[in-house]
Structure 1
Amino acid sequence: MARSGNDPLADLAHRTRSEDPRFARAMDRGEPCRPREYRHRSAWLLLAAASVLFGVGVVISDGLLIASGLVVAGAAGHLFDPQRDRPGLRRPS
């Protein structure tokens, strides 16, 4: 029996390879790594830097450091979003 060109597993594998190649290679080896949605090391580092900026700004009463800390915290919050790499996708409300 011939297989149709509409194979959902093949489509899923292709989409996974294009969206997160590191995860797909790890799955091929049988040693899965964490998917991109759960890798937040840079976001945590940026959030720590924002906390330091904000804290120093509060201690020395410098509004520019406080504002910078808040802006950097907003940027770090954006990095925690799992859908940030797909600008055309909207989350369901």
Structure 2
Amino acid sequence: MSRAKRRSAEKQKGVDEDEESSTAQFRPEARVKPEERARKAAFERHENLERCIANVDGSGEKVFRALVDTRVSLLNILSPGF
């Protein structure tokens, strides 16, 4: 949910920003150290990068197979028939 939608939903429910900040102290995310948050964010970025590399590798493999198939087709066309 977007930030604006969340805020409007909270206003409709009657949640004050003061109440929201006081409840933030009891959330598990609020107690996490900044170093831990940075480590988790770096780990998430690393996982995303690994997925991107895997996708690029898979795409490269598809292109290579298509080139090999095209080469075989061209060689079949150029070779004399039996």
User: TM tier, shorter chain?
Assistant: 0.3 to 0.5
Indicate the structure (1 or 2) with the bigger Cα radius of gyration. 2
Q: TM-score, normalised by structure 1?
A: 0.32
Q: Which is bigger in relative contact order (C-alpha 8 A, separation at least 6)?
A: 1
Q: TM-score, normalised by structure 2?
A: 0.35
Q: Judging by fraction of residues, say which structure has more helix.
A: 2
